[in-house]
Chain A
Amino acid sequence: MTEFYREYLAVAVLIGAALALVGLMLGVGKLIRPVRPQADKYITYEAGSDPVGGWGQSNVRYYVYALLFVIFDVEAVFIFPWAVGLEPLGIFGLVEMVVFILILVLGLVYAWRKGVLRWA
Protein backbone atom coordinates (compact mmCIF):
# COMPACT_ATOMS: atom_id res chain seq x y z
CA MET A 1 0.00 0.00 0.00
CA THR A 2 2.69 2.45 1.05
CA GLU A 3 4.63 1.27 -2.01
CA PHE A 4 1.68 2.33 -4.21
CA TYR A 5 1.51 5.77 -2.62
CA ARG A 6 5.26 6.22 -2.82
CA GLU A 7 5.09 5.70 -6.58
CA TYR A 8 2.44 8.38 -6.90
CA LEU A 9 4.39 10.68 -4.60
CA ALA A 10 6.89 10.88 -7.47
CA VAL A 11 4.06 12.03 -9.76
CA ALA A 12 3.00 14.66 -7.21
CA VAL A 13 6.61 15.88 -6.87
CA LEU A 14 6.90 16.13 -10.66
CA ILE A 15 3.67 18.17 -10.88
CA GLY A 16 4.92 20.44 -8.08
CA ALA A 17 8.28 20.90 -9.81
CA ALA A 18 6.56 21.78 -13.09
CA LEU A 19 4.37 24.39 -11.41
CA ALA A 20 7.34 25.83 -9.48
CA LEU A 21 9.42 26.05 -12.65
CA VAL A 22 6.70 27.95 -14.53
CA GLY A 23 6.16 30.26 -11.56
CA LEU A 24 9.89 30.84 -11.20
CA MET A 25 10.45 31.66 -14.87
CA LEU A 26 7.47 34.00 -15.09
CA GLY A 27 8.36 35.57 -11.73
CA VAL A 28 11.98 36.22 -12.65
CA GLY A 29 10.86 37.59 -16.01
CA LYS A 30 8.46 39.94 -14.29
CA LEU A 31 11.20 41.14 -11.94
CA ILE A 32 13.89 41.97 -14.48
CA ARG A 33 11.93 43.11 -17.56
CA PRO A 34 11.34 46.79 -18.33
CA VAL A 35 7.69 47.91 -18.17
CA ARG A 36 6.62 50.39 -20.86
CA PRO A 37 2.95 49.74 -21.55
CA GLN A 38 1.52 50.73 -24.94
CA ALA A 39 -1.93 49.89 -26.23
CA ASP A 40 -0.47 48.21 -29.33
CA LYS A 41 1.43 45.70 -27.22
CA TYR A 42 -1.78 44.28 -25.80
CA ILE A 43 -3.31 43.35 -29.14
CA THR A 44 -3.47 39.61 -29.78
CA TYR A 45 -0.52 38.55 -31.92
CA GLU A 46 -1.68 37.24 -35.25
CA ALA A 47 1.28 36.61 -37.56
CA GLY A 48 2.14 40.27 -37.89
CA SER A 49 -1.19 41.58 -39.14
CA ASP A 50 -3.86 43.21 -36.98
CA PRO A 51 -6.39 40.63 -35.77
CA VAL A 52 -9.93 40.78 -37.17
CA GLY A 53 -12.24 41.06 -34.16
CA GLY A 54 -14.38 38.52 -32.35
CA TRP A 55 -14.35 34.81 -32.88
CA GLY A 56 -15.65 33.18 -35.98
CA GLN A 57 -18.19 30.46 -35.40
CA SER A 58 -16.28 27.27 -36.05
CA ASN A 59 -17.46 24.63 -38.48
CA VAL A 60 -19.79 21.96 -37.09
CA ARG A 61 -17.56 19.36 -38.78
CA TYR A 62 -14.94 19.85 -36.07
CA TYR A 63 -17.56 18.94 -33.49
CA VAL A 64 -18.37 15.71 -35.30
CA TYR A 65 -14.71 14.74 -35.31
CA ALA A 66 -14.51 15.48 -31.58
CA LEU A 67 -17.61 13.33 -31.02
CA LEU A 68 -16.12 10.44 -33.00
CA PHE A 69 -12.90 10.87 -31.02
CA VAL A 70 -14.75 10.52 -27.69
CA ILE A 71 -16.42 7.31 -28.88
CA PHE A 72 -13.18 5.70 -30.04
CA ASP A 73 -11.40 6.90 -26.90
CA VAL A 74 -13.96 4.98 -24.83
CA GLU A 75 -13.34 1.97 -27.06
CA ALA A 76 -9.58 2.25 -26.45
CA VAL A 77 -10.14 2.33 -22.69
CA PHE A 78 -11.85 -1.05 -22.90
CA ILE A 79 -8.96 -2.46 -24.90
CA PHE A 80 -6.35 -1.63 -22.21
CA PRO A 81 -7.54 -4.08 -19.49
CA TRP A 82 -7.87 -6.75 -22.16
CA ALA A 83 -4.35 -6.13 -23.48
CA VAL A 84 -2.65 -6.41 -20.07
CA GLY A 85 -4.44 -9.70 -19.35
CA LEU A 86 -4.13 -11.19 -22.80
CA GLU A 87 -2.71 -14.59 -21.80
CA PRO A 88 -4.99 -15.50 -18.86
CA LEU A 89 -8.05 -14.38 -20.83
CA GLY A 90 -7.11 -16.65 -23.73
CA ILE A 91 -9.06 -17.34 -26.94
CA PHE A 92 -12.39 -16.52 -25.32
CA GLY A 93 -11.23 -13.01 -24.46
CA LEU A 94 -9.89 -12.60 -27.99
CA VAL A 95 -13.26 -13.56 -29.50
CA GLU A 96 -15.06 -11.12 -27.18
CA MET A 97 -12.73 -8.31 -28.12
CA VAL A 98 -13.05 -9.07 -31.85
CA VAL A 99 -16.87 -8.94 -31.54
CA PHE A 100 -16.60 -5.65 -29.62
CA ILE A 101 -14.31 -4.06 -32.20
CA LEU A 102 -16.33 -5.42 -35.15
CA ILE A 103 -19.54 -3.83 -33.82
CA LEU A 104 -17.75 -0.49 -33.60
CA VAL A 105 -16.14 -0.93 -37.01
CA LEU A 106 -19.70 -1.25 -38.31
CA GLY A 107 -20.32 2.26 -37.02
CA LEU A 108 -17.11 3.50 -38.61
CA VAL A 109 -18.12 1.98 -41.95
CA TYR A 110 -21.51 3.67 -41.62
CA ALA A 111 -19.85 7.03 -40.98
CA TRP A 112 -17.55 6.43 -43.95
CA ARG A 113 -20.40 5.49 -46.29
CA LYS A 114 -22.38 8.56 -45.22
CA GLY A 115 -19.41 10.73 -46.19
CA VAL A 116 -18.88 12.19 -42.72
CA LEU A 117 -15.17 11.43 -42.85
CA ARG A 118 -14.72 13.31 -46.10
CA TRP A 119 -13.83 16.98 -45.77
CA ALA A 120 -16.06 18.56 -48.38
Chain B
Amino acid sequence: MWGQQVVFWLLAIAMGAAAIGVVRSRDVVHSVLFLVVVLAGAAAQYILLAAEFVAWVQVLIYIGAVVVLFLFGVMLTRSPMGHDSNRLDNDQRWAAGVVALLIFGVLTALLVDAFGGQQINFGPELVAQGSPQAIGSDLFRTFIVPFEVVSMLLLAALVGAVVMARKD
Protein backbone atom coordinates (compact mmCIF):
# COMPACT_ATOMS: atom_id res chain seq x y z
CA MET B 1 0.00 0.00 0.00
CA TRP B 2 1.21 3.44 -0.95
CA GLY B 3 0.62 5.18 2.40
CA GLN B 4 2.53 2.51 4.28
CA GLN B 5 5.50 2.91 1.96
CA VAL B 6 5.61 6.66 2.64
CA VAL B 7 5.40 6.21 6.42
CA PHE B 8 7.99 3.41 6.30
CA TRP B 9 10.53 5.56 4.49
CA LEU B 10 9.88 8.59 6.72
CA LEU B 11 10.48 6.43 9.80
CA ALA B 12 13.47 4.71 8.21
CA ILE B 13 15.15 8.03 7.37
CA ALA B 14 14.48 9.38 10.87
CA MET B 15 15.84 6.18 12.42
CA GLY B 16 18.95 6.28 10.22
CA ALA B 17 19.62 9.92 11.10
CA ALA B 18 19.16 9.20 14.82
CA ALA B 19 21.43 6.14 14.57
CA ILE B 20 24.15 8.32 13.08
CA GLY B 21 23.48 10.75 15.93
CA VAL B 22 24.11 7.95 18.47
CA VAL B 23 27.67 7.41 17.23
CA ARG B 24 28.44 11.01 16.31
CA SER B 25 27.19 12.75 19.44
CA ARG B 26 29.90 14.19 21.66
CA ASP B 27 27.92 13.75 24.84
CA VAL B 28 27.20 10.18 25.98
CA VAL B 29 23.85 11.19 27.45
CA HIS B 30 22.83 12.68 24.09
CA SER B 31 23.80 9.38 22.47
CA VAL B 32 21.38 7.59 24.78
CA LEU B 33 18.62 10.06 23.88
CA PHE B 34 19.28 9.48 20.17
CA LEU B 35 19.00 5.77 20.89
CA VAL B 36 15.52 6.41 22.31
CA VAL B 37 14.53 7.90 18.93
CA VAL B 38 15.86 4.83 17.08
CA LEU B 39 14.01 2.45 19.41
CA ALA B 40 10.77 4.45 19.17
CA GLY B 41 11.11 4.33 15.37
CA ALA B 42 11.43 0.56 15.54
CA ALA B 43 8.26 0.45 17.64
CA ALA B 44 6.47 2.55 15.01
CA GLN B 45 7.66 0.12 12.31
CA TYR B 46 6.12 -2.74 14.26
CA ILE B 47 2.83 -0.83 14.38
CA LEU B 48 3.11 -0.42 10.61
CA LEU B 49 3.37 -4.22 10.36
CA ALA B 50 0.26 -4.53 12.59
CA ALA B 51 2.35 -6.19 15.32
CA GLU B 52 0.69 -4.16 18.05
CA PHE B 53 1.82 -6.16 21.08
CA VAL B 54 5.45 -6.39 19.95
CA ALA B 55 5.46 -2.62 19.39
CA TRP B 56 4.36 -1.85 22.94
CA VAL B 57 6.77 -4.43 24.35
CA GLN B 58 9.48 -2.56 22.47
CA VAL B 59 8.38 0.68 24.15
CA LEU B 60 8.04 -0.90 27.62
CA ILE B 61 11.23 -2.95 27.67
CA TYR B 62 13.66 -1.02 25.51
CA ILE B 63 12.66 2.60 26.04
CA GLY B 64 11.29 2.06 29.53
CA ALA B 65 13.87 -0.26 31.05
CA VAL B 66 16.98 -0.82 28.92
CA VAL B 67 17.54 2.89 28.30
CA VAL B 68 17.27 3.52 32.06
CA LEU B 69 19.92 0.82 32.49
CA PHE B 70 22.11 2.58 29.90
CA LEU B 71 21.72 5.91 31.66
CA PHE B 72 22.73 4.40 35.00
CA GLY B 73 25.64 2.70 33.26
CA VAL B 74 26.74 6.04 31.83
CA MET B 75 26.42 7.68 35.24
CA LEU B 76 28.61 4.94 36.72
CA THR B 77 31.53 5.86 34.49
CA ARG B 78 33.97 8.37 35.80
CA SER B 79 34.09 10.49 32.66
CA PRO B 80 32.92 14.07 33.11
CA MET B 81 30.14 15.35 30.90
CA GLY B 82 32.73 17.26 28.91
CA HIS B 83 32.25 18.69 25.46
CA ASP B 84 35.75 17.57 24.60
CA SER B 85 35.44 16.40 21.00
CA ASN B 86 38.43 14.07 21.18
CA ARG B 87 37.28 12.09 24.16
CA LEU B 88 34.67 9.99 22.35
CA ASP B 89 36.52 9.75 19.06
CA ASN B 90 39.43 7.64 17.90
CA ASP B 91 41.26 6.37 14.81
CA GLN B 92 39.06 3.33 14.36
CA ARG B 93 36.16 5.22 12.81
CA TRP B 94 36.94 4.07 9.25
CA ALA B 95 37.30 0.45 10.33
CA ALA B 96 33.99 0.81 12.17
CA GLY B 97 32.41 2.24 9.02
CA VAL B 98 33.65 -0.71 6.94
CA VAL B 99 32.29 -3.17 9.50
CA ALA B 100 28.93 -1.35 9.57
CA LEU B 101 28.70 -1.45 5.75
CA LEU B 102 29.59 -5.15 5.72
CA ILE B 103 26.91 -5.96 8.29
CA PHE B 104 24.39 -3.92 6.30
CA GLY B 105 25.31 -5.77 3.11
CA VAL B 106 25.17 -9.24 4.67
CA LEU B 107 21.84 -8.56 6.41
CA THR B 108 20.29 -7.09 3.28
CA ALA B 109 21.45 -10.02 1.14
CA LEU B 110 20.18 -12.52 3.71
CA LEU B 111 16.77 -10.86 4.05
CA VAL B 112 16.28 -10.52 0.30
CA ASP B 113 17.36 -14.13 -0.17
CA ALA B 114 15.02 -15.40 2.54
CA PHE B 115 11.91 -13.27 2.00
CA GLY B 116 12.55 -11.63 -1.37
CA GLY B 117 9.43 -12.62 -3.30
CA GLN B 118 7.04 -12.83 -0.37
CA GLN B 119 4.14 -10.48 0.22
CA ILE B 120 2.51 -9.75 3.56
CA ASN B 121 -1.25 -10.02 3.30
CA PHE B 122 -2.57 -6.96 5.09
CA GLY B 123 -5.99 -7.56 6.50
CA PRO B 124 -7.98 -7.96 9.72
CA GLU B 125 -6.44 -11.40 10.34
CA LEU B 126 -2.95 -9.85 10.41
CA VAL B 127 -4.11 -7.37 13.06
CA ALA B 128 -5.63 -10.24 15.04
CA GLN B 129 -2.35 -12.14 14.80
CA GLY B 130 -0.45 -9.31 16.46
CA SER B 131 -2.89 -8.80 19.34
CA PRO B 132 -1.94 -9.78 22.91
CA GLN B 133 -4.77 -12.34 22.94
CA ALA B 134 -3.31 -14.24 19.99
CA ILE B 135 0.21 -14.09 21.42
CA GLY B 136 -1.10 -15.25 24.81
CA SER B 137 -2.85 -18.27 23.33
CA ASP B 138 0.31 -19.16 21.35
CA LEU B 139 2.47 -18.71 24.40
CA PHE B 140 0.33 -20.68 26.86
CA ARG B 141 -0.82 -23.44 24.51
CA THR B 142 1.95 -24.08 21.97
CA PHE B 143 5.12 -22.71 23.54
CA ILE B 144 4.67 -23.73 27.18
CA VAL B 145 8.17 -25.14 27.71
CA PRO B 146 10.02 -22.17 26.15
CA PHE B 147 7.85 -19.87 28.26
CA GLU B 148 8.86 -21.61 31.49
CA VAL B 149 12.49 -21.68 30.33
CA VAL B 150 12.29 -17.88 30.03
CA SER B 151 11.56 -17.70 33.75
CA MET B 152 14.71 -19.74 34.45
CA LEU B 153 16.67 -17.39 32.19
CA LEU B 154 15.32 -14.37 34.07
CA LEU B 155 16.15 -16.10 37.36
CA ALA B 156 19.72 -16.62 36.18
CA ALA B 157 19.95 -12.94 35.21
CA LEU B 158 18.57 -11.93 38.60
CA VAL B 159 21.03 -14.09 40.52
CA GLY B 160 23.85 -12.78 38.32
CA ALA B 161 22.86 -9.20 39.13
CA VAL B 162 22.78 -9.98 42.85
CA VAL B 163 26.22 -11.65 42.73
CA MET B 164 27.60 -8.64 40.83
CA ALA B 165 26.12 -6.25 43.38
CA ARG B 166 27.65 -8.15 46.29
CA LYS B 167 31.16 -7.54 44.98
CA ASP B 168 31.33 -3.83 45.69
Contact = CB atoms under 8 A, between A and B. Distances in A.
B21 to A, nearest CB: 17
B151 A103 contact: yes
B111 interface: no
Interface residues of A, number: 47
Given A100-B147, A110-B162, A63 B76 contact: yes
Contacts of B161: 64, 67-68, 71, 111
A34 interface: no
Contacts of B116: none
Given A4-B50, A55-B75, A81-B53, A103 B66 contact: no
A99 B76 contact: no
B interface, size bucket: 35 or more
A84 B124 contact: no
Interface string A39-83: 000000000000000110110111110111111011111101110
B77 to A, nearest CB: 7
B150 A60 contact: no
A103 B64 CA distance: 24
B133 interface: yes
Main secondary structure of the interface of B (DSSP, over half): helix
Looking at chain A's contact residues, the main secondary structure is helix
B66 to A, nearest CB: 6
B157 interface: yes
16 contacts: A61-B165, A63-B73, A67-B157, A67-B164, A68-B161, A69-B68, A75-B154, A81-B139, A82-B140, A84-B133, A89-B136, A103-B148, A107-B158, A111-B158, A114-B166, A116-B165
Given A103-B151, A111-B158, 8 more contacts: A1-B123, A54-B81, A67-B157, A71-B157, A74-B61, A77-B61, A85-B132, A89-B137
Interface of A: 1, 4-5, 8, 54-55, 57-58, 60-64, 66-71, 73-78, 80-82, 84-85, 88-89, 92-93, 96-97, 99-100, 103-104, 106-108, 110-111, 114, 116
Interface of B: 3, 47, 50, 52-53, 57, 60-61, 64-66, 68-69, 72-73, 75-78, 80-81, 122-124, 126-127, 132-133, 135-137, 139-141, 144, 147-148, 150-152, 154-155, 157-159, 161-162, 164-166, 168
